[in-house]
Every structure is written in C-alpha cells, then in structure tokens.
Amino acid sequence: MRLFGTKDEQLFMLFSESARVVVRGGDILQNVVNDYSDLDIKMAKLTAMEHEGDRIIQELIRRLNTSFILPFDREDAFQLAQKLSTTLDYITGIIDRMILYKTGRPNKRVKEMVNVLCEALFLQERALNLLQSLEHNKREILECCEEIRQLERKQDNHYRQGLALLFENEEEPIVIIKWREVYEHIEMAQDYVQDVAELISNICVKYS
C-alpha cells in the first residue's frame, strides 16, 4: 500500500525535504563541535537552513489544511511537521548557546552526544523516505525506529554521565551552567527525533 496517493506526491516530497534539511543542520552542528572555528559563518549557514526548513513546514501545513486527503490521521501529519521543525530549532539552539555563552571548545562528551544525535537524524530521514510505500517497507521502517529508540537510550546515558562529570570536575558554577544548557539542548533534540520515530511506528501499526 502506498501511504500517499498520486495526488499527494508533493506532500510526501515536502516531508522528505524537511527531514533532509534537519540532517543538514545536524551536519553543520557536527562540524562545529569537531572544528570550533568560524562560528559566525557556520551559525549563518544554519540560520539559513532553519529559514528553509520553516518555509518547507509552512508549505506542508498549508497543503495539509487545503487540498490533501490523507489515508492516515491528519493530526499525525501535523505532529510530524511540527516535531521536525522543533528538532531543527533545538539544533540551532545548541550552537547559539555555545556562541552566546562563549563556552569554548566542546569536550569529548559533547562530541559523543552530537554523533549520537546525527546518527538518529539520518535514520529519521531514511524512515520518512521509506514511508511512502508503507506495506513494502514496513519492516525496514520499524527497524529504523527501533534503532532511534536505542540511540535515545544511549543519549540518556551520555547526558546523565556528562552532567555527573561536569558537577564533579568543574569548580566554576558559571561554566557548569553554560555546558548544562548545551547538554540539555542536545538531549531535547534527541527526544524530538524519538517522538518522530514513535509517530512513524504508530502510523505503520495503524495503516499497514
């Protein structure tokens, strides 16, 4: 079963484009934590990416409100669009806080957390690209969603251990506050990717 009908091809493409933009945002974030230079240039690129993502989401919502009749709950589609947009917002917020708070170079823990997030973003994009042909791709879609769940648990461990080490090893309260904000934003971005995976899993169960 094709989840989207012939007339819905552009809607499906918009979901795929939105997921692609989020992955590109993750790529910029990964570049920042591995090469902590030219931050203003990288932030400008990510801001432009965020504007592109907003434009895609706005078009998605417009189409969901007008011409498309979907074979699954419209609310599911709205939530997918909203959570993809919020994920990109949090990715932008991670870099924004590094620049605003002048945190300095990210430590090993931050790099590990960003790597986990980017791996989940890639799986999210893949799952959404496969969603159009649901019956044929159901198993692979659910495998992607399960891998995202496993990565979310891994991220939780990184987050807790990172905070514990931060409080244990850092003497300056202001430094603790700065990096805690960064950790929390990475964790929140991961949570939204997990939310998208749950929505996709539910769609697979309900409509396959």
pLDDT tens string 135-168: 788 999 999 999 999 999 999 999 999 999 999 9
Q: Is 46 helix (H, G, I), strand (E, B) or coil?
A: helix
Phi (first) and psi of residue 177, to 5 degrees: -65, -45
pLDDT tier, 71 (very low <50, low <70, confident <90, very high otherwise): low
> pLDDT digit string (tens) for 16-59?
899 999 999 999 999 999 999 998 899 899 889 889 988 988 88
Contacts of 108 (CB under 8 A, 6+ apart): none
Q: Is the pLDDT of residue 70 over 70?
A: no
Q: What is the topology classification, in CATH, of domain 7-207?
A: Methane Monooxygenase Hydroxylase; Chain G, domain 1 (1.20.58)
pLDDT tier, 83 (very low <50, low <70, confident <90, very high otherwise): very high
Q: Percentage of the chain surpassing pLDDT 70?
A: 92
Please give the torsion angle defined by the CA atoms of residues 34, 40, 45 and 51, in that order, rounded to the nearest 10 degrees: 130
Q: Residue 15 is encoded by which pair of tokens?
A: 């979901």
d(CA 34, CA 208): 41
Q: What is the pLDDT of residue 2?
A: 47
Contacts of 101 (CB under 8 A, 6+ apart): 178, 181, 182
pLDDT tier, 199 (very low <50, low <70, confident <90, very high otherwise): very high
Long-range contact pairs involving 161-170 (C-beta distance under 8 Å, separation at least 24)? 161/109, 162/109, 162/110, 162/113, 165/109
d(CA 40, CA 58): 27
**Closest C-alpha among 129, 204, 208, 113 to residue 163:** 113
Contacts of 155 (CB under 8 A, 6+ apart): 113, 116, 117, 120, 186, 187, 190
Q: Residue 114 is encoded by which pair of tokens?
A: 């960003």
